[in-house]
Chains A and B, each alone.
Chain A
């Protein structure tokens, strides 16, 4: 069971907007630690998608955005495209048990 909780799956039609939540606690997201998001296309390694809650690395389309509030963070994808079908993971730091890196359980995005 992951320290950060994500919905197992979300889906949307092309062109639509979807959001993926990442729920933590007072020892990670709620303690002020930033959230990073990764996209894992089928059969490939994860790729950094969003860092520091809402920042996009160079080359990531602005259709992808992130936010954080309280003990949760969210990834939003607008103008959904078939190529966005992938697994998405959130990641943060947890101060309990000195867990330097914690990942969410991942969310499978299906483009209908």
Chain B
């Protein structure tokens, strides 16, 4: 059974750095093809992909937020950490981590998120 859970501060001040931890079980992040991603959702708004780390430590970021994001993994602890610098009130959102798998059809391969954490609401306010 795959489970993921996000943890971190619920309130951060503008300009501060946010650090979120995703602790997971039921899979290993050293297994080929596996990844863990971060997705956020501002209140009442759509999902937005942030970052993803693969089993081989390859890291990918949303182009619009790349300069502010860092994703790392600790395979021995079954954790993935996301840091986001220079937080702003517009970054107020529920932050989700999710297990990703690679789906390949006859024409292409794409990522999908097949297991999600419950999410953690982060509010940015002074």
Contact = CB atoms under 8 A, between A and B. Distances in A.
Contacts of A46: 39, 47, 96, 113, 116
A61 interface: no
A52 B108 contact: no
B83 to A, nearest CB: 19
Contact of A51 (B52, B103, B118): B103
Interface residues of B, number: 24
Nearest to B61: A100
Given A34-B105, A89-B47, A104-B46, A99 B63 contact: yes
B49 A47 contact: no
B111 A101 contact: yes
A23 B107 CA distance: 19
Contacts of A97: 63
Interface in A20-47: 31-34, 36, 38, 44-47
Interface residues of A, number: 30
Nearest to B113: A48
Which residue, B47, B48, B111, has most C-beta atoms of chain A within 10 A?
B47
Contacts of B111: 93, 100-101
B63 A98 contact: yes
A104 B105 CA distance: 21
B108 A32 contact: yes
17 contacts: A31-B108, A34-B105, A34-B110, A36-B103, A44-B118, A52-B103, A91-B47, A93-B108, A98-B60, A98-B63, A100-B49, A100-B52, A100-B60, A100-B111, A101-B52, A102-B49, A105-B46
Interface of B: 37, 39, 46-49, 52, 60, 62-63, 96, 103, 105, 107-108, 110-114, 116-119
Interface of A: 2, 31-34, 36, 38, 44-48, 51-53, 57, 89, 91-93, 97-106
Query: Which are the 7 A-B pairs with shortest beta-carbon distances?
Result: A101-B49, A45-B116, A32-B107, A103-B47, A93-B110, A36-B112, A97-B63
Given A46-B39, A106-B46, 9 more contacts: A2-B46, A34-B107, A34-B108, A45-B118, A45-B119, A52-B103, A53-B105, A98-B63, A100-B52
